Structure formats: structure tokens, C-alpha cells
Amino acid sequence: MQALGDRIRDGRLQAGAKLPPEGAMMEEFGVSRTVVREAISRLQAAGMVETRHGIGTFVLGHGDASSFRIPATQLATLKDVISVLELRIGVETESAALAAMRRTPANLAALRSALQAFSAALAEGRDAVGPDFQFHLEIARATQNARYADLMATLGGTMIPRARLEAVQPPSPEAQDYLRRVNLEHESILRAIEQQDPDAARAAMRTHLANSKERRQRIAAAR
């Protein structure tokens, strides 16, 4: 049921959204009613949801898991997005290296699942912001250092540049080509993590994020 909190953090469930009924969540996640209620209780304790008796449970926001925040209003321009990419380069290159050294079979399965979800989104002509964020979040979890995962969860889906600047649906042919390249870069990162090669994982992540930053800079220069 950690996936429920992830959906709030990455923006798939936004403030004000009503959570599905307990029965629907039991069916979707394949868990008991007790597990669903415990998950909701944890989200309530974290300040992420509130239950209104007789009405339902509603999303409040990211909660108080961390005092660090980058409000959406600070991600409105290309300059803002580039600044976040620079932060990510500093954090995620080491995150990838640690993941390569510490990942478990379960971590690898979660990473592969995120890549499969990304590929499925492309095949259906959809953007892949959710799976993109999930892939990076799973790398942070694979470090076995909760602080990395906390930081990524706090950033949420807004850390993916196109989540703020390219909200066109469906993606244009040019955007789809770009997303295919992104997915190939993700595969290179996963391969290095799978092979437990921290130097290769670090380099693959740096290349991936630097390519994204360079693309944003080209867009900015063309305006």
C-alpha cells in the first residue's frame, strides 16, 4: 500500500481528490480491508489525507514528511526547471551508485516494473511522467538509505521537467522520440545497477540528467 502514498507524492492524486472506496483499493492492490485501513491511518498521521465521516477520505497534500519543499510556483519557468535538474544531478548520481552497491532482487523487480510501465505508456501514445518518477524513486529506495527516498518523494512528480512544461496530450511525434531516448537511458542505468557497477551507474545517471538539462537549455536559448 506504499503505492497509495506514492500517488499523492508524485501528483497522480492531488489535493482535494477523493480516494477510491475501500473495496476498490482492496481489489486493485490485492490486500485485505485491514491493510487498506492501516495504510489510510498512516497517511492521516502524516497529514496527507483526512477522512470525513459519511463522505470519504480526501487528499490534503504531501504531508509533513519533510520541511524541504519546492512549490509548484517555483517550477513555472525553464530557469526554475534547470535549477532542479542541477540539484538532481548532484543527488541522483550518487543515489545510482549506492543503488548499484546495495540493490536487492526486490529493488530490481520494482525498477523493471517502472520501465515496463514507461514502455506501455509510450505504446499507448501517453506521456510517462508517473512511471518516469517511479523509476527514479525506486533507485532512491534501492540505496537502502531512507533519506534519499524521502527527498525524492518530497520532490514528487514535479521533478520531471515535462510535468510542468509539456503538459500536451497526447505527446507529439517529436516528444515521443525524446521519450524513447529517455527510456533507453533508463535501461542503461538499470543495467549498471543490475551488474552492481557503481561507476557505470553514476555515469549513466549523470548522462541521463545532463541530457535533460541540455535539452531545456536549448529550448531556453531558442525562445
* Range 2-59 has CATH code 2.60.40.10: no
- Each residue's pLDDT tens digit, 151-205: 887 776 666 766 544 544 566 777 788 889 999 999 999 999 999 999 999 999 9
Q: What percent of the chain has pLDDT over 70?
A: 83
> Distance between CA atoms of 170 and 175, rounded to whole angstroms?
9
CB count in 10 Å sphere of residue 184: 10
| pLDDT averaged over every residue in the chain | 83
The residue count of the chain comes to: 223
pLDDT attached to residue 165: 47
pLDDT attached to residue 105: 96
Q: Which amino acid is at 9?
A: R
* Range 72-222 has CATH code 1.10.10.10: no
* Whether the Cβ atoms of residue 42 and residue 59 lie closer than 8 Å to each other: no
Phi, then psi, of 130 in degrees rounded to 5? -60, -55
Which residue shows C-alpha cell 529517455?
182
> Distance between CA atoms of 223 and 219, rounded to whole angstroms?
7
* Whether the Cβ atoms of residue 193 and residue 114 lie closer than 8 Å to each other: no
- Each residue's pLDDT tens digit, 46-100: 778 888 777 888 887 766 544 555 655 555 577 777 888 898 999 999 999 999 9
Where in the sequence of the chain do the CATH 1.10.10.10 domains occur? Answer: 2-59
For residue 170, the SS3 value is coil
* Whether the Cβ atoms of residue 117 and residue 130 lie closer than 8 Å to each other: yes
pLDDT attached to residue 168: 46
pLDDT attached to residue 162: 62
The alpha-helical segments, DSSP class H, found in 30-104 are: 33-45, 78-102
* Whether the Cβ atoms of residue 160 and residue 133 lie closer than 8 Å to each other: yes
C-alpha cell read off for 194: 543490475
First to last CA, the chain: 44
Q: Which of 6-10, 43-47, 48-52 shows the lowest per-residue confidence on average (mean pLDDT)?
A: 43-47
Tell me how many degrees the CA angle 83-212-197 measures, rounded to the nearest 5.
Answer: 105
**The model's pTM:** 0.67
> Distance between CA atoms of 7 and 14, rounded to whole angstroms?
8
Q: Which amino acid is at 83?
A: S
C-alpha cell read off for 54: 459519511
Where in the sequence of the chain do the CATH 1.20.120.530 domains occur? Answer: 72-222
* Whether the Cβ atoms of residue 21 and residue 39 lie closer than 8 Å to each other: no
